[in-house]
Amino acid sequence: MRTTFYARNRIDLFHGVARFKDEHTLLVRDRQEGMEELVAKKIVIATGSRPYRPADINFRHPRIYCSDTILSLSHTPRTLVIFGAGVIGCEYASIFSGLGVKVDLINNRDSLLSFLDDEISDALSYHLRKHGVLVRHNEEYESVEGDESGVVVRLKSGKKIRADAFLWANGRTGNTDSLGLENIGLTANGRGQLSVDEHYRTAVSHIYAAGDVIGWPSLASAAYDQGLNSCNELLDKEYRFVSDVPTGIYTIPEISSFGPNERELTEAKVPYEVGKAFFKDTARAQITGDTVGMLKILFHQDTLEILGIHCFGDQASEILHIGQAIMQQEGDANTLKYFVNTTFNYPTMAEAYRVAAQNGLNRVF
């Protein structure tokens, strides 16, 4: 599909492995070991990332996987240990527990996805445990050893866990190690990521970078925008630095958010109030049977300006975009009253905005 788009826009594609010769020249080696030299005034590095693999774990063992190789799993294990309880680890924990696999989720922090709203993080923990996931917080691994019948994971706390398979899901590394960055004076950080300024420029002003290779937020949605805007910038067109992006986490239940959470607003001393709508009280959720979930609107007590949207449950990442669109409007359009004064289709999940807005207003007036 993308090849068609490139052809339609008269963009030349060169297939192969690229390496910098100098600041304006790339050497591209194709599959037949042929070499092509490309020269450009400006260059965008968008090489993406891959799972981080610590050197002391043998990923060649048939029962030890990373978040990429697990996709080639040819059987369903009875038990699985997942190390890393970030977004990817939690998503895989949901997937495998949904398949009936007994999952141990090892977290090296004291809570799940601490960047989320506390109430939603707690809800995720509850539902993972409800589906049989054993979450172990504040743990680090000592060793991971595979044998013919499974994998033994030893933790620094002294615990020993045996499972049919092991999944490493703790971080990613930028694909920069084979780019020849030393030939252009660039240095990646310990995770292979490049630093950029608000114009997507690296330390070499005519070389830009976008997507996972620059680190946070490492989302496909943000990478698309970063790629577009970095190209617009180097072409001297109107651009924006992508900073405010929605979070979409495809666990069970699904989670999505945009804007600050309650903890962040409290720390910033912003006088906010909360409006909630529980999916179990909406007609559409009752019809579909997906009654687990909640929409939470955070808004300013005085101006009613919408400050943050937090949602979990079926279609959360779709529902969120309505609130996101209203939050980005100018002036009075970005207030709680929009949802109270707007008629929503019935029955729909979007109707939860009206319910949450009315709930919030009842707390203020």
For 112-160, the pLDDT digits (tens) are 999 999 999 999 999 999 999 999 999 999 999 999 889 999 999 999 9
Nearest to 233 by CA among 203, 213, 208, 204: 208
Residues 252-258 have a mean pLDDT of 95
Instruction: Give the start-to-end residue ranges of the domains of the chain.
Output: 1-40, 42-174+183-246, 253-364
Q: Going edge to edge, which strands form the sheet with 141-146?
A: 141-146, 151-155, 160-163
CA dist., res. 315 & res. 213, Å (int): 29
Whether residue 216 contacts residue 242, with contact meaning beta carbons closer than 8 Å, is answered with no
Place of tokens 């999944």: 167
Model confidence pLDDT, tens digit, residues 208-221: 999 999 998 888 88
CATH superfamily of 253-364: FAD/NAD-linked reductase, C-terminal dimerisation domain (3.30.390.30)
A 10 A CB-CB count for 32 gives: 6
Q: What's the pLDDT at 1?
A: 61
- Does residue 2 carry a pLDDT above 90? no
pTM of the prediction? Answer: 0.91
Place of tokens 């990613």: 172
Model confidence pLDDT, tens digit, residues 29-45: 988 878 899 999 999 99
Q: What's the pLDDT at 219?
A: 86
Q: What's the pLDDT at 122?
A: 95
Whether residue 295 contacts residue 312, with contact meaning beta carbons closer than 8 Å, is answered with no
The percent of residues above 70 in pLDDT, for the chain, comes to: 99
Residues 224-232 have a mean pLDDT of 92
Whether residue 134 contacts residue 16, with contact meaning beta carbons closer than 8 Å, is answered with no
- Does residue 11 carry a pLDDT above 90? no
Q: What's the pLDDT at 333?
A: 82
| 18 beta partners | 28
The architecture in CATH of the region 42-174+183-246 reads 3-Layer(bba) Sandwich (3.50)
Q: What's the pLDDT at 121?
A: 95
